[in-house]
Amino acid sequence: MIKLLLRVRRILITPCLIVMLLSGTLAESRQTFANLTQTAKSDASINGLTGKERVEAFEKIWRTINEKYYDAKFNGVDWNAVRERYRPRVEAAQSDEEFYSLMRRMTGELRDAHTRFLSPRQRQQRKRLQATSAGVIISEVEGTPVILSVGTDSDAARAGVLPGMVVRTVDDKPIAERIKEVRDEIVASSSERAMRLLIYSRLLAGEPDTTVMLGLVRADGTPLDVTLTRRIASAAPKVTARLLPSGYAYIKFNRFHDPVANEIKEALVKFKDAPGLILDLRNNGGGDGEEALRIAGFFFNEKVSFGRILTRTGKPPSALFGLIKFPKEFQAGRKGGQLYRAPVVILVNEASGSASELFASALQEQSRASVVGTQSCGCVLGVLEHREVKGGGEFTVSEIAFLTSKGRRLEGDGVTPNETVALTLADVRSGRDAALARAEGSLRNRAEATPRSAAAQ
């Protein structure tokens, strides 16, 4: 099933192919499309392209999307007109950097977070599970650009930067102006939430070992100007598992990627007697579909529907020149495979994407878990392979769409929580995790209600 279908680990992964790993409740493992934060400045030193080669690469990208894209209507975009607009600009491009920027913009026209172009440098970082970080994550909270988290061992922490500080300028440029520049470059994505993630991840884009200047405002209104150095950071999968003071088990992981399923299996065996479990998928951008199905299976004692596939032709996708046929419906669970039986709450936010969204939706629709947090990314399409172009860059094409077990399409919409808990500036500044507190409250309420229900029967 999906073991073959999505053996390719990128099939259920959001634009955040690489994650930034920082410590702290709000910062840990936040997926912010970090592999896209690299500029193309140094790509020319990898494999420079001639003007003819740029045109050939452009034609390959456009043609592949034209033939393979899952939606014959191209998400409402006139794809032929896109070719007519971009080809003259590609022919006039004076550098690889300019060409790579054009390809990112062209793929962005489809308003699809999974169909995208990566420069050679970005491709290298994706394959190495690396990211470039300035030690802080910026996001929009209550309509204001703020520091969402700060790495514990970073220039930012040593300079006194704290979560909740308002971002006023980036490299002496007003933040609103910088946001507009980035938005214009991205064009569009799967949802407005995906757009925000892309925009704020690219605000600090730059090469490793270069600096970025931030103009900040403290909670008391006083200014703070800092210069931060961008550094290479590991983006390997990470699992955090512990018992909370309340007695409930808590498991957080940043992506569905081997060996996460094995680590979660060990944690579930260890915490099998906990009265409730909180699975934290906030900032989990997706990953390996097979890994997601394995983990989901730990919560069921029989096979359950995880969803089904839609393709452009209406036929199941295939590989190896049609020798391998993939099923249109995939399932999770098996008799005797359930490791945890107590109530489950899943935490999501706008950076929960792709496989995370399918996972949360499946457990929600099967009434195996409730969901707490904010609307997820709405970035749920499937990529079968990374396609290389001359010079070392690559692109991906969404060839598969997904429906949940109840026939709902998550692309563009995302998972709607059973209980919505929005992030506030006050919570960021105080370090309070309101969503986690609500999840614990939900588990307590369920435990208190169960005896009353039983007594009434």
Q: For position 403, which CATH number holds?
A: 3.90.226.10
Residues 335 and 408 in one domain: yes
On whether residue 431 sits in a domain, the answer given is yes
Residues 97 and 175 in one domain: no
* pLDDT for res 355: 94
Question: DSSP 3-state assignment of 135?
Answer: coil
* pLDDT for res 324: 60
Confidence of residue 58 (pLDDT cuts 50, 70, 90): very high
Return the exposure string of 112-133: e unless at least 16 CB atoms fall within 10 Å of the residue's CB, then b: bbbbbbbbbbbbbbbeebbbbb
Q: What pTM, to 2 d.p., does this model score?
A: 0.86
**For residue 315, pLDDT beyond 50:** yes
Instruction: Pinpoint the alpha helices (H) of 299-404.
Output: 355-365
On whether residue 89 sits in a domain, the answer given is yes
Instruction: Determine which of 191-195, 230-234, 431-435 has the lowest per-residue pLDDT on average.
Output: 230-234
Domain end marker among 234, 268, 297: 234
Q: Which residue has the higher pLDDT, 295 or 323?
A: 295
- Write down how long the chain is: 457
Q: For position 171, which CATH number holds?
A: 2.30.42.10
**For residue 133, pLDDT beyond 70:** yes
* pLDDT for res 321: 55
**For residue 57, pLDDT beyond 80:** yes
Residues 153 and 71 in one domain: no
Distances (CA, A) of 42 to 35, 118, 126, 190, 207: 14, 13, 16, 29, 8
Confidence of residue 320 (pLDDT cuts 50, 70, 90): low
Percent of the chain with pLDDT over 90: 74
Residues 37 and 145 in one domain: no
* pLDDT for res 322: 58
Nearest Cα to Cα of residue 13 among 106, 129, 108: 129
* pLDDT for res 325: 63
Contact (Cβ atoms closer than 8 angstroms) between residue 42 and residue 207:
yes
On whether residue 454 sits in a domain, the answer given is no
Instruction: Pinpoint the alpha helices (H) of 109-208.
Output: 120-128, 155-158, 175-186, 192-202
Instruction: Pinpoint the alpha helices (H) of 335-433.
Output: 355-365, 425-430
Residues 228 and 246 in one domain: no
Residues 391 and 337 in one domain: yes
DSSP for residue 34 = G
Domain end marker among 215, 234, 253: 234
For residue 103, what are the domain limits? 1-124+237-449
On whether residue 225 sits in a domain, the answer given is yes
**For residue 107, pLDDT beyond 70:** yes
Domain end marker among 234, 253, 269: 234
On whether residue 455 sits in a domain, the answer given is no
* pLDDT for res 121: 83
Q: Which residue has the higher pLDDT, 16 or 375?
A: 375
